[in-house]
Amino acid sequence: MTLILLTLAGLLVTTAAATWLMPSLLLRPIGWVLCRLLYRYRVVGQEQIPLQGGVLLVANHVSYIDWL
């Protein structure tokens, strides 16, 4: 039982250190899932986006509650 607890503690410390050193590896997938679940979006004119080069994305917000 002690060996299992020591292994669990070691894994917890290792995970915490890895998350602290490279937070994007953990936060980016969580953020992606939350955005996909919470926000619905519609792409209009996707064929106008070039495959290479830069793109300027401009959002039109009518009010502060337009996301409802």
The answer, yes or no, to whether residue 24 has pLDDT greater than 70, is yes
| Token output for 65 | 């509650």
pTM of the predicted protein model: 0.37
Q: What is the pLDDT of residue 45?
A: 85
- Whole-angstrom distance, CA of residue 25 vs CA of residue 37: 19
* Higher local confidence (pLDDT), 22 or 33: 33
* Higher local confidence (pLDDT), 3 or 66: 3
- pLDDT category at 8 given cuts 50, 70, 90 is very high
* Higher local confidence (pLDDT), 20 or 65: 20
Do 49 and 55 form a contact (C-beta atoms < 8 A)? Answer: yes
- pLDDT category at 10 given cuts 50, 70, 90 is very high
**Length of the chain in terms of residues written:** 68
